[in-house]
Amino acid sequence: MSDGRWRRRGGRAERPMVPRAEFTSYYGKPVLNPPVWKGRDIAGYFFLGGLAGGSSLLAAGADLTGRPGLSRVAKTGACAAGLVSLAALIHDLGRPARFINMMRVFKVTSPMSVGTWLLSGYIPAAAVAAATALTGRLPRLGAAATAGAAALGPAVAAYTAALISDTAVPAWHDGYPEMPFVFTGSGAMAAGGLGLLAAPAGESGPARNLALLGQVMEMLAFERMTRRIGMVAEPYRAGRGGAYMRAGQVLGALGATGAALTGTPLLPAGRPRRVVAAAAGAALMGASVATRLGVFHAGIASARDPRYTVVPQRQRLEERARARAGTGTGGHGREIRG
Amino acid sequence: MATTYRLTEHHTAGGMSRWLPYLAELQPEFFCEVSPELAAERCLVHLGWATIVTARNAVEARVLITQRIPALTVAGRRLHQVGLPYHWGWAGYSTGDSANDLVEISLDPNVHIQEDKAFACDIRPGRRPRGAARPALVREYRRRAGITERTGTAP
Amino acid sequence: MTAIDVQIGPRPAGQPDGMDSYPGGQPRMGFFTDTSVCIGCKACEVACKEWNGVPEDGLVLTGMSYDNSVGLGADTWRHVAFIEQQRPVSVPDGDPAGDPAGDPAGDADAGGGDGDGGLRWLMSSDVCKHCTHAACLDVCPTGALMRTEFGSVVVQADVCNGCGYCIPACPYGVIDQRKEDGRAWKCTLCYDRLGAGMEPACAKACPTDSIQFGPLDELRERAAARVDRLHEAGEASARLYGHDPGDGVGGDGAFFLLLDEPEVYGLPPDPVVTTRDLPSMWRHAGAAALTLAGLAAASFAAGALGERLGLGGRR
C-alpha cells in the first residue's frame, strides 16, 4: 500500500495481437475528472431532445399525409419536450441565472454552443407549431413553424451525441462514430412510442414504423460500437451503466413486439389494440430513457476508473513505438515522446 | 523505538500551523509511520488507529504503513521503529494527541525545545483509553516492566 | 477571441506553436517542472492558495504517502504527488561529492540491516498544462475560457455559468467545479502577476527551482539539457512529458521532467485533445440526423405503400 504503484491487469485488448496490458495508476485515483452533470437533468435532456426531434419529423409527415391526430400529438410532444429540456438544462447549470451567457458566442468547436443556437431556433418553432395546431389559428404560420421544427429536429436529436463524444470520457469519446446513430435511433423510438401511446389508432402507423426502424438502428449501432471499442465497452455491460442498458434492451424488445403486433391482424381492433399500442408506446419511451441513462452512467464509470484512460493510451503508445521501430526510422521511443 | 521528527507542513509544536487551513489540510491528522513488518506483527491497518505507549503516557495516532521506516537489526536483535511527528495538540483547526506527551519534559537550555527524540515504546492497534483508563493502562505497562519513579535515577 | 469562432483544428500558420498572439510579440510563457529536484515541501500549493484565495478543500488523511491533496480540482491548482517505490538505485553509491548533476529525489538505501535494492520517493508538483490545443477552451459554450496574451488558458469567473462541459473535456483531469459556487476554476498561471511582470506564486515560492517559469522555448531548451545531464549521470528513467509540440494536445504550456511513466504520477500516457476528432464527429452526427429524417420519410412511405398494396385500412 505504501508502495504507491497499484498494478492491475488491463482489460482485453480489442485486437488479439496487442498483448494484455499491465497497468499502473496513482493509488487507483481517476486521471480524468468525471462530469458533474446530474443524470436526471442531462440524460433526461438527451431523451427529451430525441423525443422532440423525432416528434417534429412525425408532425411534419402527419401534416403532409393528412393525419391530424398524430400531428397534434407529435407537435404537443415536441413542444413540451423542448420546454422541459430547457428547464432541465438551465437547472443543471452551476449558475442557472447566467444561462443567457450561452449566447455570448457561437463556437463550432463546442457542441454545447451549437446546441444552444439550435435550440434557440427549434424551441420557438416547436412551440408555435403546437400552439397553432391546438388553437387552430394562424395555420400558415403553423405550417412554416412545423417545417422549421422538422428541419432542425434531426439536428437536435443528433448533436447531443457529438456533445458527449467531444470529451475525454473514454466510453463516450471512443464511441463517437456510432453514438449519433444510437442517439437518433433512440429518439426515433421515443417519438414513435409517443405516437403509439397517444395518437388515434388509425393514424399511428407511421409512428409504429418509425419506432421499429429506430429500434433496429439503435441496436445495430450500439452493437457495432461496443464491439469496436474494446475494453472501454465494459461500463456499458457492467455496473449501473450496464444495468440501464439491459433494461433499455428489454423494454425495447417488449415495446417493439407490442408495436409490431398492432400492425398485424393478430390483435383484435378496438380496445385490445389500443391497450397494447399504449403499453408498447410507453415501453418504447421507457427504453429510450433507460438507454440515455445507460450511456450517461457508463461514461461516468469509464471516467472514474483510471484503467479506461491509461490502458488504451499505453497500448496506443506501444503500437506507435512498434510501428516506428518496424519501419526502421528508429524513433527515440518513449523517452522523448513522453 | 519511537522516534519523533518534523513534517514540512507544520511548525514545531504546531501551535501556529495547526490553525491555518492551508497548512492543516496538507497534514490534517496526527499519524504514526510503521514498517510493513511491524504492522503485520501488531495487526496495524493502514489508516487505522494505533495506540503508542511508553512509561509516561499513551497516545493514539492514525497508522501509515510505509517502507521508509525500516526495521533495524541492533546487536543481533530486531528493533522496530515507530515514526511520530510531534506537531499535534488538542487545539486548532487540526487536532490530535501530542507525541511529546510520551516522554518527560526535558528541554534544551536555550530555546526549550523538547530534547528527547528517540525512546522505547510499545504500539498496539486501536484507539487509546479515555479518562481514568488511560493512566491505568500506563501503570499496567510500568508494573510489567518493573518501572518505578526511581527507575533510571539510581547511581 | 471573437464572438463568432468557427475554427476547428490547428490554428493559423505563422504563429509559434500555432498560437494566437497579440500584436506586440509577447512570447508564450509557461512552466517547466523538474520533478527530479522537487523536495515535496508543498510551498507551491500554499503559495497558490494564498495568492488566489482558493478555499481549503478538505482535512482528510488519505494515506497516499504524504499527499493529502489527492489531485487537481477546483480548489487545488497545484498538487504535489508522492510515490514511494522499491527500485534498484540507478546512481552509484558513494558519488554525491563528485556528482555535479545533483541527486535525483531520495535514492537513499533502505533497510538498516537488510539493504536490498533501494527505496525511491518520487515527488512531483502537478498543475494545469495550459495546452496548445486546449479542450476546455474549445468546448466552453460561453467563451468564459480564453487564451491570454501569454499563451495561458484562463477562466473568466464573471462569465462562467457552470455548465460543466470543460470538466470532462480536459484529458488531464485538471479543471473542476467548485460545488458551493457553481463555476469552474483552475490555475490561471497567475495572470494577474504576469501582467505586473512577476512570476507565478508557485514558481516564486519553490525553494529548489523545481518549478521554473519563463518563455516556453527557453524552458524547452533548458529541459532538454537537463534530461541529457541526468542521463549522463546514470538516471536513465528521466524523461520529459508534455514538451513535444507534436503530441496529442500540441505540447503543453506547463511541461514536466518525470522519473517514471506518466501514469505513475496520475498523468495520462498519451493525452489527445478531444477536439481533434470533432470534425469527424460532426460528420457522423450529420449523417445520423439525415438518417433519422430518412427513417421518418420511410415510415410514412411504408404506410402509403401498404395502402397502395391493399394491406388493409389505415393503421
In chain A, which residues have their Cβ closer than 8 Å to the Cβ of C181? 94
Give the pLDDT score at A21. 54
- Which chain A residue has its CA at the smallest distance from C258's CA? A338
Determine, for residues B26 and C113 on separate chains, whether the beta-carbon distance falls below 8 Å: no
Average pLDDT of span B38-66: 97
Give the pLDDT score at A329. 54
CATH number of B2-144: 2.40.40.20
Determine, for residues A3 and B67 on separate chains, whether the beta-carbon distance falls below 8 Å: yes
Show the cell assigned to A144: 412554416
d(CA C8, CA C11): 8
d(CA C153, CA C169): 14
Picking from A112, A169, A317, the nearest residue to C141 by CB comes out as A112
What is the identity of the amino acid at A66?
G
Average per-residue pLDDT for chain A: 91
pLDDT, tens digit, 9 for 90 and up, residues C76-102? 999 999 999 987 655 544 444 433 444
Q: Of all helices (H) and strands (E), which one includes residue A142?
A: helix A139-165
**C-beta contacts of C50-57 below 8 A and 24+ residues apart:** C50/B22, C50/C201, C51/C190, C51/C193, C51/C201, C52/C77, C52/C188, C52/C190, C52/C201, C54/C185, C55/C178, C56/B21, C56/B22, C56/B24, C56/B25, C57/B25
Picking from A168, A180, A313, the nearest residue to C269 by CB comes out as A313
Give the pLDDT score at A237. 97
Average per-residue pLDDT for chain C: 86
Show the cell assigned to B150: 526511581
Neighbours of chain B (3+ CB pairs under 8 A): A, C
Determine, for residues C119 and B73 on separate chains, whether the beta-carbon distance falls below 8 Å: no
Q: Of all helices (H) and strands (E), which one includes residue B87?
A: none
Q: Which of A257-261, B15-19, B149-153 has the lowest mean pLDDT?
A: B149-153
Integer angstrom CA distances of residue B131 from B58, B135, B136:
12, 8, 9
What is the identity of the amino acid at A255?
G
**C-beta contacts of B126-129 below 8 A and 24+ residues apart:** B126/B49, B126/B50, B126/B51, B127/B49, B127/B51, B127/B60, B128/B51, B128/B58, B128/B59, B128/B60, B128/B97, B129/B58
Average pLDDT of span C251-256: 96
Domain map (residue ranges) of chain C? 18-272, 274-315
Residue B82 pLDDT more than 80?
yes
Show the cell assigned to A5: 504503484
In chain A, which residues have their Cβ closer than 8 Å to the Cβ of C168? 32-35, 167-169, 172, 299, 303
Chain A contact for B150, CB < 8 A? Answer: no
Residue C116 pLDDT more than 80?
no
Measure in Å the smallest separation between the Cα of B67 and chain C Cα atoms.
8
Chain A contact for B36, CB < 8 A? Answer: yes
DSSP β-bridge partners for residue C176: C185
Dihedral sign from CA coordinates of C56, C57, C60, C66: negative
Determine, for residues C164 and A265 on separate chains, whether the beta-carbon distance falls below 8 Å: no
Measure in Å the smallest separation between the Cα of C198 and chain A Cα atoms.
30
Determine, for residues C161 and A96 on separate chains, whether the beta-carbon distance falls below 8 Å: yes
Q: Of all helices (H) and strands (E), which one includes residue B21?
A: helix B21-24
Chain A contact for B3, CB < 8 A? Answer: no
Determine, for residues B22 and C111 on separate chains, whether the beta-carbon distance falls below 8 Å: no
Residue A126 pLDDT more than 70?
yes
Domains and CATH numbers, chain A: 32-305 (1.20.1630.10)
pLDDT, tens digit, 9 for 90 and up, residues A132-174? 999 999 999 999 999 999 999 999 999 999 999 999 999 999 9
pLDDT, tens digit, 9 for 90 and up, residues C255-287? 999 999 999 999 999 999 999 999 999 999 999
Give the pLDDT score at C304. 83
Domain C18-272 sits in CATH 3.30.1490.20: no
Give the pLDDT score at A10. 40
In chain A, which residues have their Cβ closer than 8 Å to the Cβ of C278? 109, 111, 162, 166
pLDDT, tens digit, 9 for 90 and up, residues C8-20? 444 444 344 445 4
pLDDT, tens digit, 9 for 90 and up, residues A177-223? 999 999 999 999 999 999 999 999 899 999 999 999 999 999 999 99
Give the pLDDT score at A334. 44
Average pLDDT of span B78-99: 96
Give the pLDDT score at C23. 53
pLDDT, tens digit, 9 for 90 and up, residues C171-182? 999 999 999 999
pLDDT, tens digit, 9 for 90 and up, residues A79-110? 999 999 999 999 999 999 999 999 999 999 99
d(CA A9, CA C36): 29
Give the pLDDT score at A12. 42
d(CA B50, CA A4): 22
Measure in Å the smallest separation between the Cα of B91 and chain A Cα atoms.
29
Determine, for residues A1 and B46 on separate chains, whether the beta-carbon distance falls below 8 Å: yes
CA-closest candidate to residue A296, choices A244, A227, A219:
A244
pLDDT, tens digit, 9 for 90 and up, residues A3-29? 444 444 443 434 444 444 578 999 999
DSSP β-bridge partners for residue C81: C124
Give one DSSP letter per residue of C194-210, joined into a string.
HHTTPPPHHHHH-TT--
Determine, for residues B67 and A1 on separate chains, whether the beta-carbon distance falls below 8 Å: no
Domain map (residue ranges) of chain B? 2-144
DSSP β-bridge partners for residue C64: C67
d(CA B31, CA A289): 48
Report chain C residues touching chain B, CB-CB < 8 A.
Answer: 39-42, 45-46, 49-50, 56-61, 63, 65-66, 68-69, 84, 86, 110-114, 119, 121
Integer angstrom CA distances of residue C254 from A34, A90, A118, C189:
22, 34, 36, 9
CB A55 within 8 A of CB A309: no
- Which chain C residue has its CA at the smallest distance from B68's CA? C110
Residue C4 pLDDT more than 60?
no
DSSP β-bridge partners for residue B61: B50
Neighbours of A190 (CB within 10 A): 34
Give the pLDDT score at A302. 98
CA-closest candidate to residue C299, choices B128, B1, A199, A233:
A199
C-alpha A277: how far from its chain's center?
A: 24
d(CA C259, CA C251): 19
CB A113 within 8 A of CB C175: no
Chain A contact for B44, CB < 8 A? Answer: no
Q: ∠ CA(B144), CA(B150), CA(B155), 5° rounding?
A: 120
Give the pLDDT score at C88. 63
Determine, for residues B31 and C61 on separate chains, whether the beta-carbon distance falls below 8 Å: yes
Give the pLDDT score at C24. 62
Position of cell 522516534? B3
Q: 3-class SS at C146? A: strand
Complex prediction ipTM: 0.92
In chain A, which residues have their Cβ closer than 8 Å to the Cβ of B62? none
pLDDT confidence bin for C312, thresholds 50/70/90: low
CB C183 within 8 A of CB A95: yes
Measure in Å the smallest separation between the Cα of B151 and chain C Cα atoms.
30
Average pLDDT of span C119-148: 96
- The residue among C33, C64, C84, C142 with the most chain A CBs within 10 A of its CB, best to mutate, is C142
Residue A244 pLDDT more than 60?
yes
Dihedral sign from CA coordinates of C166, C168, C172, C178: positive
- The residue among B33, B66, B68, B69 with the most chain A CBs within 10 A of its CB, best to mutate, is B66
- Which of residues C43 and A16 earns the better pLDDT score? C43
pLDDT, tens digit, 9 for 90 and up, residues A58-80? 999 999 999 999 999 999 999 99
Show the cell assigned to A214: 429506430
In chain C, which residues have their Cβ closer than 8 Å to the Cβ of A313? 268-271
In chain A, which residues have their Cβ closer than 8 Å to the Cβ of B36? 2
- Which of residues C116 and C75 earns the better pLDDT score? C75
Percent of chain C with pLDDT over 90: 76
Q: 3-class SS at A282? A: helix
pLDDT confidence bin for C117, thresholds 50/70/90: low
Give the pLDDT score at B19. 96
CB A56 within 8 A of CB A177: no
Give the pLDDT score at C308. 80
In chain B, which residues have their Cβ closer than 8 Å to the Cβ of C110? 67-68, 70
Give the pLDDT score at A23. 87
Q: Of all helices (H) and strands (E), which one includes residue A44?
A: helix A39-64
Residue C150 pLDDT more than 90?
yes
Average pLDDT of span C279-301: 97
